[in-house]
Amino acid sequence: MFSSLTGLEITYFIVALLISMIVHEVMHGVVAKALGDTTAADMGRLTLNPLKHIDVMTTIILPVALVLIHMPPIMAAKPVPFNPNRVRFGDYGAAMVGLAGPLSNFAMAIIGSIIAHIAINGNMQLINFLGLFIQINVILMVFNLIPFPPLDGSRVLYAVAPEPVRRVMERIEAMGFISILLFILIVFELFSNQVIGIENAVLRFVINL
């Protein structure tokens, strides 16, 4: 989708992606704090300062490595920490924290679409930026809702999954960065067409608001 970006559009892409990822992560922490867990706040992560959210491995090395092997440059900000044992409502509270990120991306996509409609006959550079901004937020929302650890959708699955499934998910999540590679190289490849189809459907919905 972004393979043809050139010149100024690359700058737009980077700025839009940083804004989208940072707000996504901050909202995890905001909801966690509202539910009683101050871990993110105590670690100074409830900030829009990009330096607090950049992870060398997942924000820089991972996308570069994927480009080198001719795969989509998937990247992620440093996850905002939270303690699921400290939030109210147990697993359901943790699910609310998990959903906060993707829902913030959905909200930003809608806001971007509204602004784009207002400015449709105005500054074309703004329209181009908003187009990328909307696409990025839709992609981040759908991708993060996939119920595979450590993606946000797994928090929702934890809340309703039977114990045997939870144990498998915990083992996958304990693998850390390896689980992300496993997902990108194997799981995502199996369901990429379905994910792209959902992304396109959500994008059409947002644009046509």
- Residues marked as catalytic: 25
Task: Spell 148-187 as b/e; 16+ CB within 10 A means b.
Answer: bbbbbbbbbbbbebeeeeeeebeebeeeeeebbeebeeee
Structure tokens at 88: 């109210």
- In the numeric block, the tokens 């993606």 are attached to 151
Amino acid at 85: N
The distance in angstroms from the start CA to the end CA of the chain is: 22
Question: Is residue 169 helix, strand or coil?
Answer: helix
